[in-house]
Amino acid sequence: MNYLESFHTKLRVGIMPENLSAADRLKFDLCSKFITYLLDNQLTQKQLAAILQVDPSRINEIVKYHINLYTLDRLIAWAERLGIQVEMTTWQD
């Protein structure tokens, strides 16, 4: 298991705080999708940054789940560029 796979595994196991807003839960899930995309396509963070036309430091922030640095709109736009489908559902308790 390489570093990124190990890091992804560590972050996905019970790391999402329970008190996140719905928007932050979606941001967290999108960050996870970006990591999965990196692994599935055997890309480096620098290569993904080039695809998304962003600075590589932005990708590093995403793989570390710094969800407070990004708007939901921006993460969704990047996901769509990669062909990641985003679906939102609403419900009432």
Q: What average pLDDT does the segment 48-57 reach?
A: 96
Encode pLDDT of 74-88 as tens digits. 999 999 999 999 888
24: Cβ contacts below 8 Å, ≥ 6 apart: 67
Q: How far apart are CA 16 and CA 28, in angstroms?
A: 8
- pLDDT given at position 4: 64
Q: How far apart are CA 33 and CA 39, in angstroms?
A: 10
Cβ neighbours, 10 Å, residue 65: 20
Q: How far apart are CA 8 and CA 60, in angstroms?
A: 12
Q: What average pLDDT does the segment 27-53 reach?
A: 92
Number of H helices, E strands in the chain: 5, 0
- pLDDT given at position 5: 67
